[in-house]
Amino acid sequence: MRLLVTGGAGFIGSNFVQYILEKHPDYKVMNLDALTYAGSLENLKEVKNNRRHRFVHGKIEDGKLVDKLMGGIDVVINFAAESHVDRSILEPQVFVTTNVLGTQVLLDAALRHKVKLFYQISTDEVYGALKLGTKERFAENSPLRPNSPYSASKTSADLLIQAYHHTYNMSVVISRCSNNYGPKQHPEKFIPTVILNALHDKPVPIYGDGLYVRDWIHVIDHCQAIDLIMHKGKSGEIYNVGADNELANIDLAKRILKILGKPESLLTSVKDRPGHDRRYAIDSAKLRRKLGWKSTIPFDQGLAETVRHYSEAGK
């Protein structure tokens, strides 16, 4: 099978590329990435000499390049996206260009070349926010209520994909995942920021009161879910991916400090971001029931391994 993986030098994408090449020794991967601040060839060092992997530097909104690469591809897996909420507040046009226009360019090329499956990697943020102190979780049929330019751009892409499925009978699947953690994540993300600042005894920034709750999943569990959905998912369906690890930011930061043996006095409240969503929580019952998936990495184990990864990388 020949895959076109976009955004394959980023955090989740690079982990997936390595995972899929190890899991399926007869698969070939064409890896397209723009190498913006969030993507790095360093993330691909494990597959650098793999003959079944080819890296191409470029943007998904480059129609000529995308069309050239699409020939002979069986499955497109679109990880490529601007994804940092804070940056989307400052530069929303960049997010619309990549996340919406770029997806549309990929869809058109995939349609022309009769690709067997278009797989969109989406986010739980398209559902908006949940209230603290409730047991409510996002299901696949939850209303789409994005609250940031980032989540609005991802929602737009999801709706485009569903429209191509309905209008052109294109084979598509969408998965919406909770917050990922693990190796290779960009330092500006929450967990790496806490680890790296604490390692150097710098203030650990916590937005507002720190009671913003996120649902965490290890990136390898996410990769396993993508692999399963790619092979067994039903065209036109959406699958939520989560590991039921809800934690307030302040509590997660305290866990990391404890692992590192650092004092909680490093925690520093900073000005909140505009429109900050209070809580995300994913219901992945459909994925477990329909496809038999389950997360395999306990959160405490995965977090400890992640802390160790960044600690060793920071030496």
What string of H, E and C letters represents the secondary structure of 130-144? Answer: ECCCCCCCECCCCCC
As a whole number of angstroms, the distance between CA 215 and CA 124 comes to 9
Q: If we measure between CA atoms, which residue out of 99, 74, 56, 84 comes closest to residue 192? A: 84
Residue 82, SS3 per DSSP: coil
Q: Which of 61, 82, 125, 215 is catalytic?
A: 125
Pick the catalytic residue: 33, 61, 82, 124? 124
Residue 244 is among the residues annotated as catalytic for this protein: no
Q: Which two tokens stand for residue 161?
A: 């994909």
Contact at 8 Å (CB) between 110 and 170? yes
Concerning whether 150 is annotated as a catalytic residue, the answer is: yes
Active site includes 125? yes
Instruction: Supply the angle between the helices 102-112 and 63-70 in degrees, to the nearest 10.
Output: 40
Of 249, 186, 184, 187, the closest CA to residue 215 belongs to 249
Helix (H, G, I), strand (E, B) or coil at 74: coil
Secondary-structure breakdown of the chain: helix, strand, coil percentages, each rounded to the nearest 5: 45, 20, 35
Phi/psi-derived region of residue 244, left when phi > 0, alpha when psi is between -120 and 50, beta in every other case = left
- Of 191, 16, 211, 206, nearest in space to 121 by CA: 16
Q: Which of 119, 127, 150, 310 is catalytic?
A: 150
Give the CA radius of gyration of the chain. 19
What residues are labeled active site?
Answer: 124-125, 150
